[in-house]
Amino acid sequence: MLELPEAIVIAEQVETTLRGKRIKSVLANQSPHKFAWFYGDPGGYNGLLSGQTIEGAMPCGGMVEIWAGPARILLGDGVSLRYFPAGERLPSKHQLLIEFDDSSSLVGSVQMYGGLWAFPAGEFDNQYYLAAKQKPSPITDEFDYAHFGSLLEGEKLQSLSAKAFLATEQRIPGLGNGVLQDILWAARIHPKRKMSTLSGQELHGVFASVKSVLHEMAARGGRDTERDLYGRSGGYKTVLSRNTVDTPCPACGTTIRKEAYMGGSVYYCGGCQSL
């Protein structure tokens, strides 16, 4: 799933590869998907976007925003985004196909769920999109320990587990269940541990891990469980993920486990992350 490191990488790749390209045509919802979300009628995307030129892109939490003249294209965390040079065979199924004047194409596909929104700038009021624009990104200096501590204010937040606090409600834009695993492993905190039980030193450790792990993931081109704009796996080798479950922890040798928790999965090392 697309999260902050991959959104950073793909936005940079869009800047490099697509900036200056003129949109020839747009086909949205060609392969209907129950959990593919659009802004208004996807049939209107061609009229909104055709003739516009790609002017840039930026990460918005775990989403990628692309600027096309007076319009915006926003791709959510469940969207697989791929660039195809002219002449390359396109996938037969997709939820968004943008063809450029040079016959290259940008294709968005949804596996489980995902948003493929195109809209006039300033007209989209999605709460996660707006929050990502308003809140400081965890890889910036503005996201400091004082800000991190402010997110924990209130008895209700203190009672949350580490996973619930870090990876729900987009308190930290772009930090989801995928990147959460290595962040908590680096901090030596079990994902089910209540935030109220963490010492001051442990809280500082979680904050430091959020900053350092996300920065390293982005610097290495995203996680090895995800793919970039060109279909390449990221260069960051995940410690805890589907790729490493049932293998020895690189720090202590304890077998890495996977458990169902909060409607999803958590990975952890019982030796490094005691509950």
- Indicate if 150 and 119 belong to the same structural domain: no
Q: How many whole angstroms separate alpha carbon 29 and alpha carbon 40?
A: 12
- Indicate if 127 and 198 belong to the same structural domain: no
The residues, ordered by sequence, that sit 6+ positions from 67 with a Cβ below 8 Å of its Cβ are 54, 55, 56, 57, 121
Is 275 part of a structural domain of the chain?
no
The pLDDT value recorded for residue 121 is: 95
Question: Residue 170 burial by CB count (10 A; 0-12/13-18/19+): exposed, middle or buried?
Answer: middle
- Indicate if 70 and 129 belong to the same structural domain: yes
CATH code for the domain in which residue 75 is found: 3.20.190.10
Is 274 part of a structural domain of the chain?
no
- Indicate if 265 and 206 belong to the same structural domain: yes
Is 140 part of a structural domain of the chain?
no
In the listed set 100, 134, 168, which residue is the last one of a domain according to the structure?
Answer: 134
Is 36 part of a structural domain of the chain?
yes
CATH code for the domain in which residue 251 is found: 1.10.8.50
Is 118 part of a structural domain of the chain?
yes
- Indicate if 208 and 175 belong to the same structural domain: yes
Q: Give all strands (DSSP E) within 69-125, no chain letters.
A: 71-75, 79-84, 96-100, 105-110, 114-120
Q: How many CA atoms lie within 13 A of 190 on its CB side?
A: 15
In the listed set 101, 134, 167, which residue is the last one of a domain according to the structure?
Answer: 134
Pairing of strands 114-120, 71-75: antiparallel
- Indicate if 222 and 192 belong to the same structural domain: yes
- Indicate if 172 and 236 belong to the same structural domain: yes
Task: Tell me the angle at which helices 177-187 and 200-219 cross, rounded to the nearest 10 degrees.
Answer: 130
Instruction: Output the pTM of the full model.
Output: 0.95
- Indicate if 29 and 108 belong to the same structural domain: yes
- Indicate if 218 and 252 belong to the same structural domain: yes
- Indicate if 153 and 205 belong to the same structural domain: yes
In the listed set 108, 134, 160, which residue is the last one of a domain according to the structure?
Answer: 134
CB 223 within 8 A of CB 236: yes
The tens-digit pLDDT sequence of the chain (275 residues) is 899 999 999 999 999 999 999 999 999 999 999 999 999 999 999 999 999 999 999 999 999 999 999 999 999 999 999 999 999 999 999 999 999 999 999 999 998 999 999 999 999 999 889 999 999 999 999 999 999 999 998 777 788 999 999 999 989 999 999 999 999 999 999 999 999 999 999 999 999 999 999 999 999 999 999 999 999 999 999 999 999 999 999 999 999 999 999 989 999 999 999 98
Q: Look up the domain containing 202 and give its range.
A: 145-269
The pLDDT value recorded for residue 271 is: 97
Is 13 part of a structural domain of the chain?
yes
Structural domains of the chain, count? 2
Give me 169's structure tokens.
Answer: 């409600």
- Indicate if 165 and 117 belong to the same structural domain: no
Give me 7's structure tokens.
Answer: 């959104």
The pLDDT value recorded for residue 154 is: 79
- Indicate if 154 and 245 belong to the same structural domain: yes
